Amino acid sequence: MLAAGAALCVAAGLWTAERDGSRAVPATADKGKSGPSSEEGAPETAGSRGNAFASAKRVALTFDDGPHPVYTPKLLELLEQEQVPATFFLLGQNVEAYPEVVEEIAGKGHLIGNHTYHHVEITSLSEEQACLEIDETSRLIEELTGSGTEYVRPPFGTWNEGLEDRLDLIPVMWTVDTLDWTTENVDWIVERTMADAGENAVILMHDSYESTVRAVERLIPLLRSEGFEFVTVDRVIMD
Ligand code: NI
């Protein structure tokens, strides 16, 4: 449940109910904020193949809505085999339900971000409610992993910039929407992703489906064969 009076929400900001409407917003970091450098913040355990391809094109696999009790562990096993670092934007309610999976994500060196507690549309909430949704999720993640998260992916891609005065988090959108949640057709997901993936692509997927895990299994060698290096999303937006 949501705790009242979350610490990060004390400074009042203006409520600006901007609605973007577009789900295909380019991934951009908040201009003024500084995030971790790759040396400090990015796990090197899972991405060391990148050393040999220092000038490789970067791509970030990002997974929303987890952790899932079945498919997230399957995906983690695959990513470990392939030495691919990834980013997981977690729902607070699933963090609470499957804490052991969150610990496994963190233990394997992936980056964890915030996806609100109940998968809510931020712009439909008051700032107070939005802060609670985000702060409680960050608190749960920190409790389990020992470190807080610096990134938030707003569900549905709608963000209230007024929150940036109150929350010390950087919003992260995406450049490739795989629409993996709409189909079990792995071929379709793979083809769509490969068609849209470019340098510094931020690929949006969901670790709640068998078909997504199977698509990732095929996408990893395909993207590598096109010269892509896998990185956590902070290295795409902050470097
Ligand atoms: Ni989502």
pLDDT in tens, 154-170: 999 999 998 988 898 99
CA of 155 to the centre of ligand 1 (A): 5
Written as one letter, the residue type at 94 is N
Q: What is the mean pLDDT of residues 14-27?
A: 32
Q: Is 206 a known active-site residue?
A: yes
Q: Tell me what pLDDT residue 238 has.
A: 80
Nearest-5° Cα angle at 187, 185 to 191:
125
Q: Which among 177, 206, 207, 234 is annotated as catalytic?
A: 206
Nearest-5° Cα angle at 65, 196 to 71:
90
C-alpha neighbours within 13 Å on the C-beta side of residue 139:
17
CA of 52 to the centre of ligand 1 (A): 34
CA of 89 to the centre of ligand 1 (A): 8
CA of 206 to the centre of ligand 1 (A): 8
pTM: 0.79
Which secondary-structure segment (H or E) carries 217? helix 210-225
Q: Which among 64, 65, 177, 180 is annotated as catalytic?
A: 64
CA of 141 to the centre of ligand 1 (A): 17
Dihedral angle over CA of 85, 147, 13, 11, nearest 10:
-170
Q: Inform me whether the pLDDT recorded for 216 exceeds 90.
A: yes
* Least confident among 18-27, 79-88, 195-204: 18-27
